[in-house]
Amino acid sequence: MSTLYLTRGLPASGKTTWARALVASRRPGRIVRVNRDDLRRSMVDPDYAAPVDAVERVISAAERLLVQGMLQDGVDVVVDATNLRATVARGWLALAEECGAHWHVEDVVADLEECVRRDAARPERERVGEERLRDLHARFVDPATGRMPPLAPPRRPLPEAEPCQHGPVAHENEWYFCLKHHQVEPWDGCRAADRLGPYPDKETAAHALEIAEQRNKAADEYDES
């Protein structure tokens, strides 16, 4: 079974250095490094600089196809982009799972000031600049730990709603909020796709919409922060 290695980290933190060392440590042909900056350089006009949506979409599609194809062929892959946005990182993990591959997330942590120094020492075309580095650090690095927040596993598709089954299983402590009828109901109610829950009591189920909204807001803040 193949493995997807995903790095996370600030620009110039050492992700590519880590990825190259990983590739060098393995038998040739058993693992490949996929890097969208390298793909972009090889696939589009070398003068292309400022991001253009249409170009970035093509590069993303090429990147994804490569990773998918390699994993399905049993070759390990390391994707050494920043992957700081949780939705992006989780998208890669979901792709690995779709391909039946293992995954590993490698957080490459380096001090912000060190990243600024390393970035300034790079050739101009590779530099991201101090302002962007500080902005990314403020948005994605937890000041308390100096690390990226833990990454939740990818979302799996919800299982198909099961038809109601009246059986010996006890459901007396399960309460639901039906989105169709806007009411609290016991387990023996509307179909699963139309309702939120289970909640441990009627009172909590009555607040299902507020609870869901708070959770979504927290998830969005984490993804977009």
Interacting residues toward Mg ion by CB under 5 A: 15-16
Within a 10 A sphere around the Cβ of 107, how many other Cβ atoms? Answer: 15
By beta-carbon proximity to Mg ion, the closer residue of 15 and 195 is 15
Q: Which two tokens stand for residue 16?
A: 């590519």
Residue 128 φ/ψ, nearest 5 degrees: -100, -20
Q: 159 in the Ramachandran plot: left (φ > 0), alpha (ψ -120 to 50) or beta?
A: beta
In terms of CB distance, is 2 or 82 closer to ligand ATP?
82
If binding is defined by CB under 6 A, does position 83 make contact with ligand ATP? no
Q: Rounded to the nearest whole angstrom, what is the least distance from the CB of residue 174 to ligand ATP in the complex?
A: 47
Q: Is 6 exposed, middle or buried (0-12, 13-18, 19+ CB in 10 A)?
A: buried
Residue among 17, 60, 68, 204 that touches ligand ATP (CB under 6 A): 17
3-class state of residue 167 by DSSP: coil
Q: Does 137 bind ligand ATP (CB under 6 A)?
A: no
Structure tokens at 166: 């009246």
Taking CB within 5 to 8 Å according to partner kind, which of ligand ATP, Mg ion, none is near residue 204?
Answer: none
Q: Is 78 in the site for ligand ATP (CB under 6 A)?
A: no
Residue type, 42: S
Q: Is 189 in the site for ligand ATP (CB under 6 A)?
A: no
User: Where does this chain touch ligand ATP (CB under 6 A) — which range of 11-19, 63-71, 168-176, 213-221?
Assistant: 11-19
Amino acid code (one letter) for 146: G
Binding footprint of ligand ATP on the chain (CB under 6 A): 9, 11-17, 80, 82, 118, 122, 128
